Amino acid sequence: MTRSRLALLATSAVGAVVFLWPFFGGGQPGAATAAAFGIGTAAALAAVELSAGRLDTRRLALLAALAALDAAARAVVVTGIGGFSPIFLLILCGGYVFGAEYGFLLGATTILVSALVTGGLGPWLPYQLFAAGWVGAAAGLAGRRRQGRPTKRDVLVLAVVGALLGYGYGAVMDIWNWTFYQSSPGLGFRPGMPVAVALGHFARFYAVTSFVYDSFRAVGNTVMVAVLGAPVLVALARMRARLHTDIEPVVMAVPPDNRAA
């Protein structure tokens, strides 16, 4: 397993700890602590990618440009229909073309930049950072066998992935929301509850509060990829080809030994 993949797994493990913190009996982590975990681990993943040469200055500039475009789109449509948001198109396409690690960084950076632009700074930010990062990473894993120019199959695969991740993003974010509902006997969370009971409560909570809301996101992702996915994937694939550099080892010629035997 490569160092980049190990770094992504470590980053995801930290994110899982942040989301599952209340289940360890400590309540919600402080906002500053959660933000430090979120921003710090994303920065660490970027540092690993930089040191490995997978994230050079040109790819870093592209990452910033894509995040800025997404932040602008979110500024225009801060509140979509239900859970729909236009930011997921570039996160999905960027992860699918550039890989899981780049996809995670794109999702996390997009959330951070858009929060600064729209004033959406709050205790939810580090959780959104991880959740959007996982959307990009999952799209990258779905596209890991993609080769050459994107095809209709790639658009179809990404549309299905976008629909599933529309629900997945909402369900992951609901883990954070759900732990605040401690007074509801049939839906809420309380520290120390058995795992089976917790899963049942969470399933009912999600079905009642979020399923319809997240359906707008899932359908929106599917429609965006179906309508705009092909040109965006082609454009990103061309950028990747231009940014790709093959480094070949230099073979030093060794002069013959002319000494007498």
User: What is the percentage of the chain residues whose pLDDT exceeds 90?
Assistant: 55
Return d(Cα 175, Cα 179) in angstroms, integer: 7
Closest CA to 44 of 56, 97, 36, 71: 36
**Which pLDDT belongs to residue 149?**
86
Averaged pLDDT, 161-186: 88
Within-domain flag for 249: no
**Which pLDDT belongs to residue 115?**
87
DSSP 153-203: HHHHHHHHHHHHHHHHHHHHHHHHHHTT--S-TTT---TT--HHHHHHHHH
Return d(Cα 62, Cα 138) in angstroms, integer: 20
What's the mean per-residue pLDDT of the chain?
87
* Residue-range definition of the domain harbouring residue 227: 3-243
**Helical ranges in 52-124 per DSSP H:** 57-76, 87-98, 100-118
**Which pLDDT belongs to residue 224?**
96
**Which pLDDT belongs to residue 261?**
42
User: What is the percentage of the chain residues whose pLDDT exceeds 70?
Assistant: 90
Q: How confident is the model at residue 245 (pLDDT cuts 50, 70, 90)?
A: low
Within-domain flag for 248: no
Go through the chain and tell me how many residues it has.
Answer: 261
Q: What is the pLDDT of residues 99-153, one digit of tens each?
A: 999 999 999 999 999 888 877 778 889 999 999 999 999 999 999 988 788 899 9
Phi (first) and psi of residue 35, to 5 degrees: -65, -40
Within-domain flag for 251: no
pTM: 0.88
Return d(Cα 126, Cα 122) in angstroms, integer: 9
Within-domain flag for 252: no
Is the sign of the CA dihedral 100, 14, 122, 55 positive or negative?
negative
* Among 65-79, 167-181, 236-250, the range of highest mean pLDDT: 167-181
Q: Is 185 left (phi over 0), alpha (psi -120 to 50) or beta?
A: alpha
Within-domain flag for 189: yes
Return d(Cα 99, Cα 145) in angstroms, integer: 10
What is the domain count for the chain? 1
User: Could you tell me which residues come within 8 angstroms of residue 168 by beta carbon, excluding any fewer than 6 positions away?
Assistant: 134, 135, 138
Instruction: Choose between 35 and 206: higher pLDDT.
Output: 206
Q: How confident is the model at residue 250 (pLDDT cuts 50, 70, 90)?
A: very low
Within-domain flag for 254: no
Within-domain flag for 196: yes
Within-domain flag for 256: no
